Structure 1
């Protein structure tokens, strides 16, 4: 399983050190575009977070149009490179998000599906390269996610042919039994479905490692803010590279040991002994 290290420190894309795959927000990179700063070729593999949670939480909807997002992602893909995939402009279905938008779960699902269809259409018009956008299943209950699956089918999108399929609105729910039921139901629909779970904390990463192909986590930053390394001179380790990589190394090692005691972790902690 691949664990993406969530960070808003986009400069980490250019570090000349062994790095885990990064998960960087469009909201962060858009600032670089707006300021006129050039985009440099990345030295590390990464995926793009659309920033949807912040957009809906702050503004109750998307301010960025699909055309603007496609134009930005095209630049990231060609000028930064090393981009594995990009999240679509989906609509989360947590209760607080529904309260922000005033819409229903069904509305959010319909908007999520239609956005993916629009992004893929616009990308095909703009580039001959493989489309980087990934569809995301949204909902709250098992029935919701199955209904969203059907909505993609009705829109002409066969999820079983996608390189990555996101599972949204599961952040902070990794302890709930229903998340496991949802993952098992999706595996029943397609045993080979490449599921990416958005925002899984350490508990979810370990608990569902055999049911998902990848996830992203920024849990290290929360921990660094409130439980900084005592040996660090900083008052907060929320943006600390050493703290992030130490956390990642421990998670990767625990996953490797849990699945195969002989298997070496993909990113052993020793690789993160950086003199920076």
Structure 2
């Protein structure tokens, strides 16, 4: 809508106004030259000019009836010029030619004035339309600016509230004599651990045979079961991860269809035993997953989609998986980057008819790197305040200490990274204990005993 500004010279503005007078004067001057060269009192020349003028007038009339106003006006102008030239060339004096020149000039200005008025009206209409469009666009920009500012303010307010609530709940729970039942009776917020439910802590591993070696809750990727010829039945509880982080890191998309994933989950259920729940083929919202890049030796190709698109695809995939296999325990997962994103994701589930408060597990994705931060605590607190039984993916000790009491379950593979940086346990011959079940069990015990006392009963119950 930015119109170029053109500075016009005064001659460009004055020339059209002088054109009619210049035209009639030129015709008069040429006619008088013709008069001086033998046209005076020449009947033949006068008859010729009369015929030409009449022909031009007839042509202008026919063009006017045909709906060609510009060509018709040109014909009339030529007819008048020929008539003026004929009279001025035939007459021996100047009085009659000057009179006809004045008359022709007045008529030319009358016709030109009509055109100028129409041209002015068109220019005013165009200017008015341009101004209206400018005002409309300016209005839209103002509305969008106000809307964006309001959304930012609401998000900041919500995040600040969630952070304050998270800090208050953490502080409240560490106070001597903490009694969830007494606080509940006063009307303070009810959270998962305050309802008396246990918090299940899963050990994340890629060793699928561990399911027959321990009854400690395990968290395994579905891809670790897919290519196995024989699957061992599980001794204890376990949950299945879809492997979404690895899929999107390597390919920027899902290479397995929902039907293929359902077939994998059915085989796991039948051969290993009923699992607690399985994650859907969700779309994480971390920057590296979306934009791509490198993190140490890991290369991320990037999906190059927006956060709202990741959220829409996450919800759509859960709905498709649930429709394909409603009997399998597939858990919905919330994705986002800010508190507002997670709230919007929860609303998408609600609009689709999914009551998250009735789901036995609701995954909380993309918080792995935020879990120990104020922003991560705000996200967990805001979702827990909805009354959801949350599972925290990839939680470490700091995250559990800060918001573990708000979760129904959590998983962690931090033990493997921890072991990779340390020498093996005494008597172990491998290079390190990054894949060692003995180290994993000791690490789990150490984590549980290092947590605040008010969290340990719930975690030990798992």
Q: Structure 2 matches for 1:128-139, cutoff 5 A? A: 130-139=327-336
Say whether 1:48 aligns with 2:246: no
TM-score by length of 1: 0.87
Q: Distance in 2 between matches of 1:254 and 1:214?
A: 17
The answer to whether the 8 Å contact 1:252/1:266 transfers is: no
Q: Distance in 2 between matches of 1:260 and 1:86?
A: 25
Query: Equivalent residue for 2:290?
Result: 98
C-alpha displacement of 1:134: 0.3
Say whether 1:240 aligns with 2:436: yes
1:73-122, CA deviations, whole angstroms, 9 ceiling, x for partnerless residues?
01111221041110011000000000110101001000000000000000
Flag the 1:28–1:261 CA change in 2: closer, same or farther, 3 A.
closer
Structure (1/2) with the larger helix percentage: 2
Give the match's secondary structure for 2:284.
coil
Flag the 1:189–1:73 CA change in 2: closer, same or farther, 3 A.
same
Q: Distance in 1 between matches of 2:436 and 2:347?
A: 42
Query: Equivalent residue for 2:409?
Result: 214
Unpaired stretches in structure 1, ≥5 consecutive residues: 125-129, 268-276
1:205-224, CA deviations, whole angstroms, 9 ceiling, x for partnerless residues?
22212111111100000011
Flag the 1:261–1:11 CA change in 2: closer, same or farther, 3 A.
closer
Flag the 1:170–1:261 CA change in 2: closer, same or farther, 3 A.
closer
Flag the 1:264–1:142 CA change in 2: closer, same or farther, 3 A.
closer
Say whether 1:171 aligns with 2:368: yes
Q: Distance in 2 between matches of 1:263 and 1:171?
A: 21
Unpaired stretches in structure 2, ≥5 consecutive residues: 1-198, 292-301
1:237-271, CA deviations, whole angstroms, 9 ceiling, x for partnerless residues?
1101111010011112334x62178889347xxxx
* Higher RCO, Cα 8 Å, sep 6+: 1
Flag the 1:104–1:248 CA change in 2: closer, same or farther, 3 A.
same
1:193-240, CA deviations, whole angstroms, 9 ceiling, x for partnerless residues?
110011111111222121111111000000111123352332121101
Aligned length: 253
Q: Distance in 1 between matches of 2:458 and 2:416?
A: 28
Flag the 1:95–1:161 CA change in 2: closer, same or farther, 3 A.
same
Query: Equivalent residue for 2:353?
Result: 156
The answer to whether the 8 Å contact 1:253/1:264 transfers is: no
The answer to whether the 8 Å contact 2:278/2:331 transfers is: yes
The answer to whether the 8 Å contact 1:172/1:201 transfers is: no
Deviates more, 1:89-98 or 1:156-165: 156-165
Say whether 1:62 aligns with 2:240: no
RMSD (CA atoms): 1.8
Q: Distance in 2 between matches of 1:212 and 1:43?
A: 24
Whose radius of gyration is greater, 1 or 2? 2
Give the match's secondary structure for 1:121.
helix
Q: Distance in 2 between matches of 1:72 and 1:215?
A: 23
Q: Distance in 2 between matches of 1:214 and 1:59?
A: 29
Equivalent of 1:187, from 384, 404, 414? 384
Q: Distance in 1 between matches of 2:424 and 2:444?
A: 15
Query: Equivalent residue for 2:341?
Result: 144
C-alpha displacement of 1:3: 0.9
C-alpha displacement of 1:131: 2.9
C-alpha displacement of 1:54: 0.3
Structure (1/2) with the larger strand percentage: 1
C-alpha displacement of 1:185: 1.3
Q: Distance in 2 between matches of 1:262 and 1:146?
A: 31
Equivalent of 1:7, from 205, 219, 232? 205
Deviates more, 1:154-163 or 1:210-219: 154-163
Query: Equivalent residue for 1:272?
Result: none
